[in-house]
Amino acid sequence: MHVSAPQAVAATLAMALGAWVQGGIGFGSALVAAPLLALVDPRFVPGPITVVTTVLNLFVIRASDPDAYDPTIRWSLGGLVPGTVAAGATLVVLSARGLSITFALAVFAAVAITGSGFPVRRAHSVLFAAGVLSGFMGTISGIGGPPVALLYQHDGGPTLRATLPRYFLAGGAITLVTLAVVGKLGGDELARAAVLVPGMAVGIAGSGWLARHVDRRAARPLVLLLSAAAALSVLVRELV
């Protein structure tokens, strides 16, 4: 692995911003950090950021109330496997340029889903389909949360904190296994993940201020705009 000092600093700041937003308003760690990391060096996604965000969910789970967990999320968990396997097969045939373009499109999809706010009934078939899409997007881009999070957008904080991190933890684990099988997660990716850990720790440690001073609804458009702008920059870089 070769990461220059400027790249390490930029990657640390990107991960810190993502973790800061996640801790402060409840979502956005990968949505913010992944597009910025792709600008620093495309090799930070999807493997390294998936390692770090999976670990991040462990900390969130420890602070949640297990009694608030929604067991119907198991239908989305069932959809993770086919979605992740399909994404793994896609990664095998994509060139580096193709991966960057597909990554940018996945970020745009994540932004659109997160920003839509469409009311969706949590039928079993819908939960399963969301899991398939989540598994595919998460393996391609490291951002798999929006399809399932959309289904829980009107639930209370305790349910969200108890349910979604457990789902994301399972999704991250399945994604990491798939990435390892297709040769996209090895020593280089783990070393790059280690570069991101300090940023995650700093972001979480400082997120209390954001939670106290910034309204989640007011911050949401800014987070989505930042993510879309970074993804657009990745796309322009590859196409121009």
pLDDT tens across 54-84, in order?
A: 988 888 788 778 899 999 999 999 999 999 9
Confidence (pLDDT) at 70: 94
Give the CA distances from residue 29 to residues 2, 26, 126, 146, 203, in Å, rounded to whole numbers and listed in that order: 24, 9, 25, 12, 10
Confidence (pLDDT) at 100: 93
Amino acid at 157: G
* Confidence check: pLDDT of 198 > 90: yes
Q: What's the count of helices (H) and strands (E) in the chain, helices before strands?
A: 11, 0
Q: In this predicted model, what pLDDT tens digit does every residue of 134-143 receive, in sequence order?
A: 999 999 999 9
Q: In this predicted model, what pLDDT tens digit does every residue of 103-130 receive, in sequence order?
A: 999 999 999 999 988 888 899 999 999 9
CA distance 130 to 78: 10
3-state secondary structure of 110: helix
**pLDDT class of 28 with cuts at 50, 70, 90:** confident
